[in-house]
Structures are given as structure tokens and as C-alpha cells.
Structure 1
């Protein structure tokens, strides 16, 4: 149920621009992703953050619960411990032109979306 909701939400919110998840298949969620293998993050909306691993895989995560300060074009500052970004890692955002970071939010699990 959650994966379907994420896909539908991401597709709806990316209307008008190329959908990076189009044609991809969701896999089982994982708790951590190796930072040396990913690029990003790209904030889609208040519920969706994308990390790109390659042309084949995109990881989808977002905040646990509400994170009203999470908006496209903001800068994401993640508190990473070690070489992986993980579920429950804390993050803040900074809006361009402002120097005060937002309140603290936590990351959910990471769902891989692969090209078949």
C-alpha cells in the first residue's frame, strides 16, 4: 500500500515535467543506502526525496510524519553517521536566501525503483 501511494504521489506532483519513476519497478524498502553510490538529494515535495544511484536505479525516501519545511529548491542537510544515509537519520532544510535552518525531521526507509 505504501509503495503505491509513493508512486502515485510522485507521479502526480511531477506532472508537467519528466517523471523520473516512469517505467520503473519498486523493490523492497531498505534501511540504508551507501553514499558513495548515490547522487542527490532532489526534493520533489513535502513527502518525497529522490536519490539517484545510476541511470537504472532511483531511491525514494521522505520524512517520517510531517515535515512542512521540506520544499523543492531547498537545500537538504542530513546528519550522516558513517558512509551511509539511513532510515531515522535527522535532516534540516535551508531555503535559498535564508540562513536559518528548519526544524529537525527524520528520514523513512529507502525504496529502490529500477528500470526493468
Structure 2
């Protein structure tokens, strides 16, 4: 009986964790929440990238030093995107562009697990608030 209760408790925790996990589209919506999309750009400066986040089979979100984040929906290979993947970027300039290919590395095996051909970078910024005091 004790074993049954323990198994039931573990199953309910696993089910709750799975239900609480957001879909890739929901994760992207949360990342850009409160921001307004700008005109897509072909390149972003590498020096401005503070961090990146991979959204499963959907996009790469580039957080920059300024108030802007850039969302890149790859032109090819999006099926290889996993939220735990390590991005391996090999560029020959000071910019990351829509013609670049980003390799993906599995964090466990440290082996390449795919690559994506980047698309345009869509900037998302928070709208300026009109403050009247």
C-alpha cells in the first residue's frame, strides 16, 4: 500500500509538471509579452548579444544589451531546435546574419545534433510610455 501511494504521488507530480509546461508558441508569446514588433533586420551585432534562448522547434530569442530582443525563426532546420541545445555560432564578421548557419550541440554527449539556417531577426521593444506628471 505504501508503495502504491508513493507511485501515485510521483505520477501526479509528473502529470502536474507536464500540464504546467508551456507550448513553444506560449513560450514565445511570453518572451515577447508587452513588446511591439519592429521591421525585420538581416543582421545583429554580436557585441550586443547578452544571452540566447532556444524555443523548441520554433525560434531563437536573442536578448541584447539594450531594450530590444530579437526573435529569429530559422529558414531551415527549426525541427532541430531544442530548449537544452547549445548553440555553436561560427561567423566571420562582427555580425550574426540571416545567411549564417548555427550548429546545435547536445549538452549530454557534446556531439552536434543538427543545424539551422537563420532567418531575418525581428526586433521587439517595449513601447515608450507617455508620462505626464
1:20–1:103 distance in 2 versus 1, CA, 3 Å = closer
Pairing 1:34–2:30 present: no
Which runs of 5 or more structure 2 residues have no equivalent in the other structure? 1-22, 128-133
Which runs of 5 or more structure 1 residues have no equivalent in the other structure? 1-8
TM-score, normalization by structure 1: 0.79
Of 80, 87, 102, the residue aligned with 1:69 is: 80
1:21–1:55 distance in 2 versus 1, CA, 3 Å = farther
RMSD, aligned α-carbons: 2.1
Give the number of aligned pairs.
105
Which structure exhibits the higher relative contact order, with contacts defined as CA atoms closer than 8 Å and separated by 6 or more residues?
Answer: 1
TM-score, normalization by structure 2: 0.70
